[in-house]
Structure 1
Amino acid sequence: MRAARSLSMVRNTLLNYAGQAYAIVIGILIQPFYLGHLGAEAYGLIGFFAVLQSWLLLLDAGLSPALVRQVAHGRGVNGEGQGQARLLRSFELIMLPLTLLSSLAVWGASTWIAGRWLNVQQLSPDLVAQCISLMGLLVALRLYATLYRSALQGQELHGFINAVNVFITTLRYFGGLLLVAQVSQDPLVFFQFQVVVSLIEALLLGGKAYLWMDVRLLTRFCWDTVRPVLPFALGMSFSSCLWIVLTQLDKVLLSNLLPLQQYGYFSLVALISGGILTLVNPLAQSLLPRMTMLVAEERHEDMQQLYLKANRFVCVLLFPMVAVIAAHGHDLVLAWSGDAVAASWCRPILAWYVLGSGLLAVASFQFYLQYAHGQLRMHVWYSVISTLVTVPLVIASAYLYGVVGVAMCWFGLRLASFLIWPAIVHRTFAPGLHGTWLRDTLQIAALSAAGLLLSEPFYALLARSGERLWLLAALAVCGLITLFLVGAGSAPALLRLFKPSQKPSV
């Protein structure tokens, strides 16, 4: 049983990474074509939608992560989740007025956002307002898709989830590219197409959740099922609100301070640095239910070993990539987009954002530890204090020093948090674990820096022509050398990755 669970953990993680890798690669390949076909201002609207979506996803109110944990915890305690249909239906009904009100609010504010907040110079303000109106509907559909995905995630149905993700990613990106290349470059048509794709996604995930959890048409709201989950959900909602402030405040301020065309260039930086964080999500999707089940079974030592192995895996995966992008960000943007203006604009800020995102990705593991124990009080206080520190610093950096100041402030705050917070969390939830965690993390970081230095002569030789293909080749060689050195230095830990322990189950 133990070995089967460990193998399923590996399988789920591989499935999640395959699905996420496909989405990331396709997104990276297609985004420059969006920039080329739609123009920088329309592409800036896509970047603004990403920010708006991050803020409106707060309307989830912690329901989705609470649903994942409740289903997984029920399986760990009872062998199966009980009352899942009532819980899902109750969460659906709670979310209904929230999504309706948010869509109406975005529609009502669309004219003001287009005319007063965004610095539109080429596009029609009326056209921009219509696009923003559709963004509210898009977020409502994605909220429901996230809720249904969470229900399936708690059941560890990662195969189906990733199959749907691959299908929707293909439809969203390749369909969108075909649309803007062959049919219309009108951004309004583009967002209308995205609404249709999001509707299909919600229907596919919702249909599977209904079948698997036996949700009937007449299943009603059940307060007795919701009440025990509310404290955790509200804690998640509050901490999520603070998390959005911490990670998205800079993007909101810059959407007002920068011309929409330059905000389109900034969206490239946000896409690349956000991709670093996205690479942690597939592991988290399989890790959180498994850690929660181990805590429910009172197998704390096994949970801590899984935590360490997952941290090593993420560091080995991310740190070489972060090192290469931070060192050669200008060449990456130039080779990727073919836009020399965008590459020059991104040069002074991309390294700071990527380094900060790498630290933030590793720091997310402290949240996973608290999540598995169902105790978020420390995380909430950490988020409150971080917000009180971050908000004035980011605002001052934005208005005094512009986008470069914001980028440097972003990195400095992430570094300070990384140096202070993990030791406190580990001391509380896993005494004696911090030394091993820190040694693993710093060793992999040092190997990444050494790999970057070792590959530099090869990079200079290949990249000196400045042609896009040679730049891509230089970046690939640099990344492979760095990854090989990190992988070789971390081989013993990687060979033990997700290996089932021999301690009998409780």
Structure 2
Amino acid sequence: MSLKKNIIANYVSQLYVTAVGILILPFYIKHLGAEAYGLVGFFVLLQAWFNLLDLGLTPTISRETARFKAGVMSALSFRQIYRALSLIFLFIAVVGGISLFLLAEILANNWLQFDSLSLFSVVIAIKIMAAIVALRWLCGLYRGVITGSESLIWLSYFNIAVATFRTVGVFPIMFKFGFTISVFFIYQLFIALLESLILFYKSRILLPKLSKFSEPIGWSVKPLMPVLKFSMTIAFTASIWVLVTQTDKLILSSILPLAEYGYFTLAVLVAGGIMIISGPISNALLPRMTSLFAQEKHLEMLAIYRNATQFVAVIAGSCAITMFFCAENLLYAWTGDLHLSHFVAPILRLYVIGNGFLVIAAFPYYLQYAKGNLKYHLYGNLILVGILVPLIVLAAKYYGAIGAGYTWMTINFLFLIFWVAFIHYKIEPGLHLKWLFNDVFILIFPAACIGYFFNSLNFSYSTRLDSFLILLIVGIPVLLTSLLCSPLIRKYINKKYLTKVVV
């Protein structure tokens, strides 16, 4: 199977799933109401925290599947590892699902804040969430087998289909049976059950047949011992990431009324688009930089590192600046709801800038990965969690979503300025100032000035089309300014066009 086709299919499905999830949100809020959508946001939060229980198991089964397909391990050894992981996945799904089911009334009574929804409907919704979360958890095992087998094109088509049914397909059902939170979650449970059955069937096809083995597979978890170190390393970094990105949402889910929490969830989801921009770049950057470092092509590795920084700074930076200055225009053009736009815009501005700092601050990880030494990455994440989590708790408790937003933005800015400088000093002395000013600052600062100038013109808007046009009027000059300030882009233009003119 072509690697290029797999990568393209993976990106297309990722972008589609993200886009359809974002575009459908205004319809959820319109038909379900802000408070009910807040409950949907709480459901997303539960899934994210449930991932803490992964313990590196999903990447492990994916890696072992790939090793089996490459002929590195026997079919019997692979099936033994698969069965051991199946037992662990099933145990966690049952215990986690039942625990959440039993906690439904406590969460509804003592954690969530709601007015228009009935206590009964909220309790029922949380109990259904428990079943959905458990089913989707099991899907991780099956997806790992499919990914390790490099059946990514099939998986991409499947993800697109599931995302469509999950987000868009619910509306005909609610038109028929009513726009209630119970109908919404019952439908989601049905889709989760169907998804898990199809993935289970597909993964079974890819597994070596049991009839091939002359000796029993057994029911022991001992086959996992050799891969335990890999699993724990992945588990630790994944757990840190969940703590960093989800603590504010967890705290605010108990402080804010569900309606306001729904608005907050919407703002964070839109701001998360900045993070998605850097995903394809990192996936392509890591293997290339690792390869160049292994070949002792140090200067080429640094050149790719700096060029990729400029690319992300241009794209993610321009998006963050435009969304900061045009937050209300973006939200109104998207939702058509003035009240929502006014309420959400201040939160969106803070999170989008914080995410902009974060995608740039992530670059030293790529350098550490290429050199095979992640100790500073682990130290940095521990420090980040140690500072961010208590501050988020205090800020959210006393100042709500705005306080959490200011904390998120400030901590990520300080992390970029100080910790990234320390990492560069340790692993690549002499790089940091050139990287910070030539590859980041001179691309971002002029674009921010242009954004400020156009925003100061105070364009008025009365329709969603007006808001969209204002978004373009600000966004296009911001992007062009950032492009022209990039040494990489200027060099490309000079080589591609100006040299031909001179000749």
**What TM-score do you get using the length of structure 2 for normalisation?**
0.84
Q: Note if contact 2:351-2:408 (Cα within 8 Å) is conserved in structure 1.
A: yes
Higher relative contact order (CA 8 A, sep 6+): 1
The equivalent of 2:415 in structure 1 is 417
For residues 219 and 368 of structure 2, the distance between their equivalents in structure 1, rounded to whole angstroms, comes to 29
Question: Residue 183 in 1 paired to residue 177 in 2?
Answer: yes
1:5-404 to 2 correspondences below 5 Å: 8=3, 12-68=6-62, 74=67, 82=73, 85-154=79-148, 156-212=150-206, 214=208, 216=210, 225-284=223-282, 290=287, 294=291, 301=298, 307-370=305-368, 375-404=373-402
Q: Describe the SS at the equivalent of 1:123.
A: coil
SS of corresponding position for 1:421: helix
1:482 correspondence with 2:478: yes
Amino acid at match of 1:109: L
Equivalent residues of 1:100, 1:140 under 8 A apart: yes
- Unpaired stretches in structure 2, ≥5 consecutive residues: 493-503
**1:97-151 deviations in Å (ceiling 9; x for gaps):** 1111110111011101111111111111111111111222222222233344344
TM-superposition CA deviations, 1:396-435 (whole Å, max 9, x none): 2123323222211111111111122334444555666645
| Residue 468 of structure 1: how far off its partner (Å) | 1.0
CA distance in 1, matches of 2:223, 2:369: 20
Deviates more, 1:104-113 or 1:216-225: 216-225
Deviations 1:53-83 (A, max 9, x none): 11111111122234455667x59xx966535
Instruction: Please give the per-residue CA displacement for 1:447-501, whole angstroms capped at 9, x wherever unaligned.
Output: 54255357548x85xx5232111101221343333334434554846999xxxxx
> 1 CA distance for matches of 2:284 and 2:411?
29
Structure 1 stretch 443-452 or stretch 290-299: which is displaced more? 290-299
Q: Which runs of 5+ in 1 are unaligned?
A: 497-506
1:442 maps onto 2:433 in alignment: no
1:106, 1:100 → 2: CA distance? 10
Shift of 1:160: 2.8
Q: 1:504: which partner in 2?
A: none
Q: Residue deviations 1:217-248, cap 9 Å, x none?
A: 98556756522322232132233223222221
> Does the residue aligned with 2:462 lie in a helix, a strand or coil?
coil
Structure 1, residues 301-338: CA drift from partner, whole Å, max 9, x if none?
A: 57666555544443333221111111111222222222
Distance 2:170 2:340 in 1: 22
- What is the alpha-carbon distance in structure 1 between the residues aligned to residue 360 and residue 59 of structure 2? 19
**SS of the residue aligned with 2:259?**
helix
Change (3 A) 1:157 1:433: farther
Question: Separation in 1 of the partners of 2:264 and 2:132?
Answer: 22
Contact kept, 8 Å, 1:325 with 1:351, in 2: the verdict is: yes
For residues 291 and 82 of structure 2, the distance between their equivalents in structure 1, rounded to whole angstroms, comes to 24
Letter in 1 for 2:131: L
Residues 87/442 of structure 1: CA separation in 2 closer, same or farther (3 Å cut)? farther
CA shift in 2, pair 1:466/1:494, >3 Å:
same
**Does the 8 Å CA contact 2:329/2:470 hold for their aligned counterparts?**
no
Cα pair 1:232 1:374 within 8 Å, conserved:
no
Paired position in structure 1 for 2:467: 471
The superposition leaves residues 174-203 of structure 1 with CA deviations (integer Å, 9 ceiling, x where unpaired) of: 102333344321212211211222333334
- Local SS of the residue matching 2:114: coil
Cα distance in 2 for residues equivalent to 1:395 and 1:465 = 37
**Kept after mapping to 2: 8 A contact 1:426/1:433:** yes
Tell me if the contact between 1:312 and 1:494 (Cα under 8 Å) persists in the aligned partners. no
Larger radius of gyration: 2
Q: What is the aligned partner in structure 1 of residue 499 from structure 2?
A: none
Q: Aligned with 1:280: secondary structure? A: helix
How far off is 1:395 after superposition?
Answer: 2.0
CA–CA separation in structure 1 for the residues paired with 2:309 and 2:59? 21
Amino acid at match of 2:463: E
Q: Say whether the 8 Å CA contact 1:12–1:156 is kept in structure 2.
A: yes
Distance 1:160 1:441 in 2: 38
Inter-partner Cα distance in structure 1 for 2:273 and 2:167: 16
Opposite residue 59 of structure 1, the aligned amino acid is L
CA contact (8 A) 2:56 2:232 kept: yes
Contact (CA 8 Å) 1:13, 1:282: kept in 2 or not? no
User: Amino acid of the residue matched to residue 251 of structure 1?
Assistant: K
Partner amino acid, structure 2, of 1:262 = E
TM-score, normalising length: structure 1: 0.83
Contact 2:307 2:488 in 1 (8 A): no
Residues 426, 406 of structure 1: alpha-carbon distance in 2 compared, 3 angstrom cutoff: same
Pair 473,380 (structure 1): closer, same or farther in 2 beyond 3 Å: same
Distance 1:469 1:370, change over 3 A: same
Closer, same or farther in 2 for the Cα pair 1:252/1:157, shift >3 Å?
same
In 2, Cα distance between equivalents of 1:239 and 1:95:
20
Cα distance in structure 1, aligned partners of 2:297 and 2:147: 22
1:87 CA drift (Å): 3.9
Select between 199-208 and 38-47 the one with higher mean Cα deviation.
199-208
Residue identity matched to 2:35: E
* Residue 436 of structure 1, CA deviation: 5.8
